[in-house]
Amino acid sequence: MAPAPTIKESAAGLYRTHDGLGPWPYRGKVAAVGIGHSPTARRWDGTPDTAIGAQTIAAIRTAIKDAGVDASEVDLLVMDCKTTAGGSPWPVGESVPKEVVEQFISSSNPLDGVAQLSPQWLLLNLPELSGVKLVILATECISMVLAASAEAVGRGVGTTCVAVKAWHNLPGRYGVRGATAESVQTGNAKYGVHGYGVAGTNCFGIATQFRRYLHKYGKTREMMAPFVVNSRDNGLLFPEGYWAQHSPTPITIDDYVHARPIAEPANLLDNDLPIHAAAAYVITTSERAIDLRHRPAYVLGHAGTGVVDGESYTGVAPRSTMQTLEEAEDLAAATARRVYESAQVTAADLAFENCYDGFSFLHPFHIEGFGYAGIRPGEALDLYQTDISISGPHPVSPSGGNIGGGRTRWWSHTDSIQQIQLRAGKRQITQPATVGLSGGFTQDWNNFIVWSQTPDGP
């Protein structure tokens, strides 16, 4: 019997969050080779086959098969144990259905595979991953998981890595749980955005920044419409996406302009839809990648923003009760500097971008920070008025992002890898997909990866 793998409780030491670190030492020596998605659902229906553990197992098996590796070759697993989507905890005092418990090999925690994932539970229920020697626990989202995976493989910690992230979504209103469900805010909550009488409105802070953005640069909310419409169009070309699977209907400019207000100037279509799904990726060395099933998507570099303190990795705290527009812009620009320095590319080298858009207003801040298509601060909405489609000269979010596929944060990475591999199907951009960018999530806490068709880059 193989010894139990070592579990490293934090990935904090694997991130590049400072200026001046120079080129990534493993530039072009790491590649993505396999992708796996589970089916998507709006919420968990309570059955064993759709529990988040089952979804995750399916995604991992699909990714391994897609890569063309043997499951026993996987020696590294990078994952996030948290699976809650937008504040969706298991109801206090409620038992896990008996049929769910009986479907899987249980760990010490009855919520494993239902409202969280532990590496112990995952490996118990994936016996074919017999070669895993190390598990690294990342945090928050797939961008953190993938960046840690690339760095770990680059350092030689593992040679064949499965990077996995899942989001469960239980019945109940999005985000309206705990303190946000109370009529009176107490403790530290009263000093944040929820203390302003907007309990449960998660987009309030970003909406406030964007209202300032519109005033500062003389833009209008309606100028966001082409981006949101384009994102849904691209998302409908993503077979694994929520809207493509469950409501394959485009939206119009008029739909956007007249959508239900949520937090001025944000409306319903500016907010992503929480869903229930899992995704996995196989990351390996470039030497191993060339012998596998698909063209490698080489990693030229990765970097991001956040605060690393020992084993802790968190977002940059605002100077006051909430982040200002100017703070967001400064952080976005800092992220871009680090990413470009790491990958040794410039904005002019990017054939496409897949920046985070969980709230649509986050996207312009990101692409302005990166200077995509030559834009400067205040010019993203002007770019949106041009041809930003997959057929245009500057494809914007060809994945459709969260707005076009549902709240997962991984559509951008899947699409970027597939664009580089020339297997994005109907989403394949018309110009050569030589170098692309994907990542997220917010300006204060993020990781981005630059992908390339060649290990040497442009």
What is the C-alpha to C-alpha distance for residues 425 and 419, in angstroms, rounded to an integer?
A: 9
Q: What is the pLDDT of residues 190-236, one digit of tens each?
A: 555 544 444 457 888 899 999 999 999 999 999 999 999 999 999 99
* Per-position DSSP letters for 93-122, written without gaps between them: TPPPPHHHHHHS---SSTTBTTTB--HHHH
Task: Check: CB of residue 337 under 8 Å from CB of residue 420.
Answer: no
pTM for the complete prediction?
0.95
Task: Check: CB of residue 165 under 8 Å from CB of residue 37.
Answer: no
The model's confidence at residue 130, banded by pLDDT at 50, 70 and 90, is very high
Q: What is the pLDDT of residues 57-112, one digit of tens each?
A: 999 999 999 999 999 999 999 999 999 866 678 888 899 999 999 999 999 999 99
Residue 405 amino acid letter: G
Quickly count helices (H) and strands (E) in the chain: 14, 14
